[in-house]
Amino acid sequence: MGCDIHLHVEKYNERTRKWKDVTLKVLNDYYSPEDGDKIEEKYSTVWVNRADGRNYALFAILADVRNYAEDLSPIFHPRGIPNDASESIRKEHCAWESDAHSASYLTLKELIDAAPDYDEINEVGTISPEQSSELDKGNLPSSWCGGTNQEDWVQRSWVRPFTSLRDLITNIKLTLEASYSYSTYAAKDKPNYDKDYRIVFWFDN
């Protein structure tokens, strides 16, 4: 069974001293009213779509979810939904009931500070003899599995470049900047990535 992420971005309002959900969403092409709201959500977040959707290495880094790689430590283990999370996020999380797991949050600054530590990751997988031969030549596998009944397949490990965390950060920032470019806010009101933004997220299988 696959695992999906539900990710929101919040902005802190200094005046009200509250967090607001500023998640930008697009219509989900896979949504069908006949299926019910637990099959597919009507809208999906822009940045999760751009961050490869079901990216288990990214999930492992964010919250130790589907952590199949060797020595891949998360930025933080799941912290839960923050007590001061915006009402819309808390309501959506509650609506998923026991299906929601590994809820957590990270500030955008925490993501940015952690990114250099995840430019490469150790990968472990079961690959075919042909892939193993190519790996010996320095050609990394493009696909692998956790295990197989194929007797001649072997488990190997390798280091591969990883850009998904930086891509997630970039896509969030670009989306936020785009929202401001169409607004009438003054320059001083533009996103302050050091303290004003965080992601709040959870997973379902």
For the whole model, what pTM was predicted? 0.80
Between 46 and 164, name the one with better pLDDT: 164
Tokens of 133: 């031969």
CB 41 within 8 A of CB 31: yes
What is the per-residue pLDDT for 182?
A: 54
At residue 53, does pLDDT exceed 70?
no
| 146 band by pLDDT with thresholds 50, 70 and 90 | confident
Query: Torsions phi, psi of 159, nearest 5?
Result: -105, 130
**Span 176-198, mean pLDDT?**
67
Mean pLDDT, residues 176-195: 64
Structural domain spans, the chain: 4-118+162-204, 121-158
pLDDT at 124: 86
pLDDT of residue 54: 79
Render 71-118 in DSSP notation, one character per residue: T---SS----S-TT--HHHHHHHHHTGGG-EEEEEEEHHHHHHHGGGG
98-118 per-position pLDDT tens digit: 999 999 999 999 999 999 999
Give the rounded percent of residues in the chain with a pLDDT score beyond 90. 49
What is the mean pLDDT of the segment spanning 43-65?
74
Look at residue 25 and tell me whether its pLDDT is greater than 80: no
Percent of the chain with pLDDT over 70: 78
- 104 forms beta bridges with 201
